[in-house]
Amino acid sequence: MADLCREHGMSSASFYKWRSKYGGMDAALLSEMKALAEENKRLKRMYAEGGAWKKVAKPSQRKVIVQWVVQNKSVSIGLACATFGISETCYRYRRVLNARTRKSPTGGCYG
């Protein structure tokens, strides 16, 4: 066994660790495990980026979605805001129009 490990450039400890982990698997099970690892990697990357819905919806659209979910689906404001990635402050924000110009001030939470 030591000759094979030396031939392939690995330590005997690495070999025994690998054998204990993958020893009883056949080729089909090994390829399925590899596919699951790739899927897990893709999902982790998507979660780290904030999910696919963040790319689809602008912040102002997310506020409207949260308002609709709270009103129509009986979901709490906190849960809906956390799910769609906006703060509760921005959910509750209401623009105040300037009395003289009838325009909204710049800034604010997503209109």
Q: Does position 97 have pLDDT exceeding 80, yes or no? A: no
> What pLDDT does 108 receive?
54
Residues counted in the chain: 111
Tell me the average pLDDT across 54-78: 84
**pTM over the 0.75 mark:** no
Whether residue 96 is contained in a domain is answered as: yes
Q: In this structure, is the dihedral angle defined by the CA atoms of residues 33, 39, 40 and 41, taken in order, positive or negative?
A: positive
Does some domain include residue 13? Answer: no
* 2 vs 67, more confident: 67
pLDDT of residue 76: 92
Do residues 36 and 71 both lie within one domain?
no
Residue 31 belongs to domain spanning: 25-51
pLDDT digits (tens, 9 = 90+) for 13-56: 888 888 887 787 788 888 888 888 898 888 788 777 765 555 66
Q: Which of 51, 52, 53 is nearest to 66 (CA)?
A: 53
Residue 95 lies in a domain: yes
